[in-house]
Structure 1
Amino acid sequence: MLALIAGTGALPNEVVADLAETPVICAMEGFIPDDLSVDIVFPLEHLGSFISDLKDQGVTEICMAGAVQRPTVDPSRIDAATMPLVPVLQQAIMTSDDGALRAVIGIFENAGLSVRAAHEIAPTLLPPLGCLTDAQPSQADLADADRGASVLSAMGSADVGQACAVSKGQALAVEGIFGTAWMLQSLTQRPDAGGGILFKGPKPGQDRRVDLPAIGPETVTGAVAAGLSGIVIEKGGVIVLQKDRVIAECNRLGLFLFVRERAV
C-alpha cells in the first residue's frame, strides 16, 4: 500500500490523478495540499507515531510530493515514539536542503518503508526528449543551454538552486531561496533587448526521489515577462505540471520548450 505525503502546490493532485488506486493521503501540519482530501494530518513532533500508524495500516511505500518549508519544532510536543529521531531531525533542520531530504528519507527507510519518486509512480510527469513546441531553439539557444548546465552544476555544489537564466553565454540570474518565479520577476526590468533561456534541472548528485524541480503554466508566463525566448529542461530531471497547458501556452506566446539530454 502506498501513502502520499502531500505538500502544497499542483504536484500532489497530478500524482493522484495518474494513479490507478488512491493512496493514503497524508500531510504535515501547516502544509495541507490545496485540493486533496487528507486522511492523516501529523505534526513533525509526532513523526515516529505517524510512521507506526502507517505501518499498522499496511503501508509499505511512501511518496513525498509538493512544497514543504522547514517547520519550527516545539520540543514540548515531541512524543515518545519520535524522541529517538530527535538527533536526526535536529541535524536535518540545520543542514542543507539536500542533506535534510536525505535524512528524512533515511528515517522512513530505516523504519522499513520504501521511498518512491513522484515521477516513478506517475511517469507522465516527465516529458520526452526534444522540442515540444512549434517554436524551435536556435544554435545560440542550445549554446546557452550548455552554459546553463555548467552554471547549475556550480550552483549545485553550493546547494543554491535548480534554475538559471542565460543569454549569449552570460548568466542573467540564478535561482535562490525565493524560487524560480521570483528570479524571473527580477528580470522583468532587464536593461538589454531580451532573449536568452531559462534553464532548469536537478542539482548534481541530488536524490531524485524528492524535490525534483518542476515547471508549470506560471513558468511560461514568467519567462515571457522576463523577455526570454524559451525554456530548456533536463530529460528525466524536471517535472512538467499541466503539460498540455504548458505546451499550449508556449505555442500561444511564441516560446520554445526544449528537453535536452542529461548533462554528464
Structure 2
Amino acid sequence: MLALIVGNGALPRAVAAAQDVPPLVCALAGHAPDGLTPDITFRVEHLGSLLRRLKRAGVTRICLCGKVDRPDISLKRLDWRTALMLPRMLKALKLGDDGALRIVIALFEAGGFAVEAAHEAAPDLLPPAGVLTAAPLSDSAEADARAGDAAIAAMGRADLGQACLVRHGAVLATETETGTDALIVGQGQAGAVLYKAPKPDQDRRADLPTIGPDTARNAVAAGLSGLVIEAGGVMVLDLPVVQDILDAAGLFLWVRERPV
C-alpha cells in the first residue's frame, strides 16, 4: 500500500489520481494540498507515531510530494517515538533542502518503508523530450540553456534553488527559498527564458522540480520568451493546459535533454 506524505500545492492530487488503488494521504499540519482531503493530519513532533500507524495500516511504500515549509519543532509536543529521532531531525533543519530531505528519506527507510519518487508513482508527470509548443526556440535558447546548466550547478553546490532567468546567455536572477513563481513575477525581465532543472546529485525521490499552469501564466505575464526544463528531471502538471497557455501567447516550452 502507498502512503503520500503531502504538503501544499497541486502535485499531491496529481500523484493520487495516478494510482489504481487510492493511497493513504497524510498531510503535515498547516499544509493543505490543493483539491485533496487528507486521511491523516500529523505534526512533525509525532512523526514516530505516524510511522507506527502506517505500518499497522499495511503501508509499505512512501511518496513525499508537495511543498513543505521547514517546521518549528516544539520539544514539549514530542512523543517518545519521535524523541528517538530528534538528533537526526535537528540536523536536518540545519542543512539545505537536499541535505534535509536525505535525512527525512533515511528516517522513513529506517522505519521499514520504501521511498518512491513522485515521478515514479505518476510517470506521466514527466513530459517527452522536445519542443512541445507551436512557437520555435529563440535564437539564443541553446546559449541560455548552457548558462542555465552552469547556474544550477552553482546553486546545487549551495543547496539552494532549481531555477533561474537567463537572457542571451547571461543569468539575470536565480531562485531562492521563495520559489519559481516569485522568481518570475519579481524580476520583470522581459524576453528572458526560465530555465529549471534538478540540482546535480540531488536525491530525486523528493523535491524534483515542477512547473504547471500557474508557472505558464506567470511567464506570459512577465513577458518571458519561453521555458526550458530538463528532460526526465522536471515534472509538468496539467501539460495540455500549460501548452495551451504558452501557445496562445507565443512562448516556447523546450523539454531539453541535458548534454552528456
> Would you call these one fold, judging by a TM-score over 0.5?
yes
Q: In 2, distance between residues paired with 1:77 and 1:107?
A: 19
Question: Which ranges of structure 2 fall in alignment gaps of 5 or more residues?
Answer: none
Residue 43 of structure 1 corresponds to: 43
Residue 240 of structure 2 corresponds to: 244
Q: In 2, distance between residues paired with 1:160 and 1:103?
A: 16
Residue type of the alignment partner of 2:97: D
Residue 200 of structure 2 corresponds to: 204
What is the CA deviation profile of residues 124-178 of structure 1, one whole-angstrom value per residue up to 9, with x for unaligned ones? 1000000000001134112211111111111111112100011111111111111
SS at match of 1:81: helix
Residue 252 of structure 2 corresponds to: 256
Residue 232 of structure 1 corresponds to: 228
Note if contact 1:202-1:238 (Cα within 8 Å) is conserved in structure 2.
Answer: yes
Does 2:86 align with 1:86? yes
Residue type of the alignment partner of 1:218: D
Equivalent residues, number: 260
Question: Which ranges of structure 1 fall in alignment gaps of 5 or more residues?
Answer: none
Moved over 6 A (4+): none
Deviation at 1:100, TM superposition (A): 0.7
Q: In 2, distance between residues paired with 1:244 and 1:118?
A: 19
1:89 to 1:209, Cα distance in 2 relative to 1, 3 A: same
Q: In 2, distance between residues paired with 1:6 and 1:233?
A: 24
Note if contact 2:138-2:225 (Cα within 8 Å) is conserved in structure 1.
Answer: no
Residue 7 of structure 1 corresponds to: 7
Superposition pairs of residues 171-210 of structure 1, within 5 angstroms: 171-188=171-188, 190=189, 194-210=190-206
Residue 28 of structure 2 corresponds to: 28
Q: In 2, distance between residues paired with 1:76 and 1:172?
A: 45
Deviation at 1:263, TM superposition (A): 4.7
Q: In 2, distance between residues paired with 1:17 and 1:2?
A: 13
Residue 131 of structure 2 corresponds to: 131
Note if contact 2:212-2:239 (Cα within 8 Å) is conserved in structure 1.
Answer: yes
Residue 56 of structure 1 corresponds to: 56
Q: In 2, distance between residues paired with 1:164 and 1:152?
A: 8
Q: In 1, distance between residues paired with 2:167 and 2:180?
A: 17
Residue 95 of structure 2 corresponds to: 95
Q: In 1, distance between residues paired with 2:259 and 2:87?
A: 36
Q: CA RMSD in A?
A: 1.1
Q: Compute the TM-score of the two structures, normalised by the length of structure 2.
A: 0.97
Q: In 2, distance between residues paired with 1:225 and 1:167?
A: 17
Residue type of the alignment partner of 1:161: G
Deviation at 1:35, TM superposition (A): 1.7
Does 2:12 align with 1:16? no
SS at match of 2:140: helix
Deviation at 1:76, TM superposition (A): 0.6
Residue 168 of structure 1 corresponds to: 168
Moved more, 30-39 or 198-207: 30-39
Residue 107 of structure 2 corresponds to: 107
